[in-house]
Amino acid sequence: MRMSINDVSVTFTRAGSTVEALKDINLSLHEGEFVALLGPSGCGKSTLLTCLGGLMTPTKGEIVVGDSVVENPDPRRAAFVFQDYSLLPWKNILDNVGVGLRFAGVGKQERRQRSQELLEMMGLSQWGESHPGQLSGGMQQRVAVARALAMDPSILLMDEPFGALDEQTRRSLGESISTVLTQNKQTVVLVTHSLDEAIYWADRVIVMSARPGRVMAEVQIRQPRPRPLEFIAQEDFAQLRSQLFLMLNEAMGHDQQANPLEPQRA
């Protein structure tokens, strides 16, 4: 589904002081588009994603999906994959995948069947009866992706979903999930700190400036999806990478000393 972000600004007020997190964001995403958000730490990427999913209302402006304004969370419109381990530890994997369906009142039979299909798609079919603690971090995040996809959402919102994983795991996960997402024709917004991840996955990379976050630049990646792993070794990839590296460096305020690939974490 088409999504447009119109003049969105977010200001936080806490104990008298205000923080301007986002300022006048305008973006539109067409159906099935995969957009990656890159930007310095604290520039408001998570805040923007939270607004897109209806978990927060922008201070100013609005978000329109299809032809309705986003006001509340609705997992069938936009489903989240969170960064931190967010599976319910007391439920088995199958029930974790089906938790959104459970909330929506879908019957047990149907829920289990749908969850099992998604686990198969994610290559985890034999893990349905296990509990999250028994799975590796990478497997848990695949379950989190399955949980979001179970809602058959028009939009998938991913906030550094593989941030806690090592490079190797990220790559192989990236390849398998990328295929699934392309097949599902979901519109995807991915927040990431990894240039490689952004270029490898996205149709368009948006670079945001340091706080208050604004859209500073965007880069189209024309290579058709899903992309083979070899894409990472190609000339185009290297070129896009250095282009984005410079933009990100600029976004951080021209500080030549700072390394944009290792953003300071709050």
Partner 1 sequence: MKEHKTSPLVWPLRALGLGALIGVWAFGNGPGGISPLVLPTIPRVLEALGEALSQFSTYEAAAITFGEILAAFIIASVFGLAAGFWAARTPLRLQVFQSIFVWGYLAPLILFYPIFILSFGTGVGSKIGYGAVSAFFPIAYNSLRAFATVQPTMLKVAKAFGASSFQTDFLIKLPSALPLISSGVRIGAGASMITVIFAEMLASTAGLGYQLALNSQTFAAPQAFAMIILLMALVGVLQGLVNLLLTPRRDRGKIINVAH
Name the residue among 26, 23, 37 with its Cα closest to residue 3.
Answer: 26
- Other CB atoms within a 10 A radius of the CB of residue 103 amount to 10
> How far apart are the C-alpha atoms of 38 and 199, rounded to whole Å?
10
- Residue (25 or 144) nearer to ligand ATP, CB: 25
Nearer to ligand ATP, 4 or 46 (CB): 46
Please give the sequence-ordered ranges of beta strands (E in DSSP) within the chain, or none if there are none: 3-14, 17-29, 34-38, 60-65, 68-69, 78-81, 155-159, 187-191, 204-208, 215-220
Report residue 25 CA to chain centroid gap: 17
Least separation in angstroms between CB 94 and ligand ATP: 31
Between residues 55 and 232, which has the closer beta carbon with respect to Mg ion? 55
Report the residue number, 16 or 89, with the smaller CB distance to partner 1.
89
Q: Indicate the SS3 state at residue 99.
A: helix
Number of residues that bind ligand ATP (CB under 6 A): 15
- Of 3, 21, 78, 144, the one binding ligand ATP (CB under 6 A) is 21
| Count of residues interacting with Mg ion (CB under 5 A) | 1
Give the single-character DSSP code of 230.
Answer: G
Instruction: Give, as ranges, the residues between 111 and 170 that touch ligand ATP (CB under 6 A).
Output: none
Does residue number 42 form part of the binding site for ligand ATP (CB under 6 A)? yes
From CA 138, how far away is CA 151, in angstroms rounded?
Answer: 21
Q: What is the DSSP letter of 227?
A: P
> Which residues of the shown chain bind partner 1 in the complex (CB under 8 A)?
53, 55, 73-76, 79-80, 82, 84-86, 88-91, 99-100, 102-104, 133, 147, 151
Structure tokens at 79: 């489903």
Please pick, from the candidates 2, 211, 225, 241, the single residue that binds ligand ATP as defined by CB under 6 A.
211
Binders of Mg ion in range 46-65 (CB under 5 A): 46
Instruction: For residue 44, state whether it binds ligand ATP (rule: CB under 6 A).
Output: yes
User: Using CB under 5 A as the criterion, which residues of the chain lie in contact with Mg ion when the complex forms?
Assistant: 46
Q: Which residues are at the interface with ligand ATP (CB under 6 A)?
A: 12, 14, 19, 21, 39, 41-47, 211, 265-266
